[in-house]
Structure 1
Amino acid sequence: MSKQSPKSKSRKEPATAKEAPVKVATASVEAPENKSLPNQKTPEEKQKAHRDGIIKTIVAAVLGVIFGFIMFSQYGAGEDRIWYAILMIVIGITYYVQKLIYIPLKIDTKEFKPKDWFFVEFIVIDFFLVTWTLLLN
């Protein structure tokens, strides 16, 4: 027979791996805590959020209609004005007016996110343009 080289020896014999000692963890079983997730709301909170959403939509719609009448009485058809300047004026004024109106209605504007402000200003602009267009016809 021939001499085995170290390479051939390792091929024929299975490699022995050192096994890590098995640690047995004795974890105590804890009762699950009753933590409410931040997305879960109580029925009262859901009702208040729904009511606040309706109020925000109504206020924005009424402001849009009012500014539609104001701009029609001030500028008429607005042919001699820059249209996007008028939109920026309406957006700027209604933003601050809404901040003042929501305080007596007990709606916290500090909780408003940019998405909320975009929503209410979009409603204002929609109603403003529709009202102004209807008055022009």
Structure 2
Amino acid sequence: MVEEKQLDINNEEEIKKSPTDKVDGHRERMLRTGIACFMGMLTGILSYVIIGNPSVSPGESLSILGWLFLLAGIVFQKHIFMVFKIDYTKLGGKDWFYQAFMTFAFWFISWTILLSLQ
């Protein structure tokens, strides 16, 4: 009974959003996605420049640095959100998973493309 009332209240709040609130929310989500994509490409390029091709020298295992760059790119997004005045405290686990996945996807794609150009 209590859960049904809470769900109804949440649904009413979603319905009562004005068009400008919806547009602002959409812009914020697009900005967050853009930041994740940019950080993925940046970490992919950084991985290529610093590590190069990890299979060239099998004795040195520098490929772990690529993963560390990826992790740093995911964590650093929180600080970029602060610069753009995005309230990162309201992001849940699903949102952070999305941010991390988008960063990973662009990191992987950009590093792979750069490695295939050699």
Runs of 4+ residues over 4 Å off in structure 1: 82-85
Q: Which of the residues 24, 29, 38 maps onto 1:53?
A: 29
Q: Which has the higher helix share?
A: 2
Q: Which amino acid aligns with 1:130?
A: I
Query: Can you list the C-alpha shifts for 1:41-65, whole angstroms capped at 9, x where unaligned?
Result: 2212211110011101111111111
Give the match for residue 18 of structure 1: none
Uncovered stretches (5+) of structure 1, i.e. residues with no partner:
1-34
Give the match for residue 132 of structure 1: 111
Q: Which amino acid aligns with 1:71?
A: S
Q: What secondary structure is seen at the aligned counterpart in 1 of 2:83?
A: coil
TM-score, length of structure 2 as denominator length: 0.75
Give the match for residue 20 of structure 1: none
Query: Can you list the C-alpha shifts for 1:28-78, whole angstroms capped at 9, x where unaligned?
Result: xxxxxxx88133222122111100111011111111111111101111122
Q: Which amino acid aligns with 1:72?
A: Y
TM-score, length of structure 1 as denominator length: 0.66
Aligned residues: 102
What RMSD in Å do the two structures reach over aligned CA positions? 2.1
Give the match for residue 12 of structure 2: 37
Structure 1 residue 123: deviation in Å? 0.7
% same residue: 25
Uncovered stretches (5+) of structure 2, i.e. residues with no partner:
1-8
Query: Can you list the C-alpha shifts for 1:54-111, whole angstroms capped at 9, x where unaligned?
Result: 1011111111111111101111122343757733x23431232111101121210000
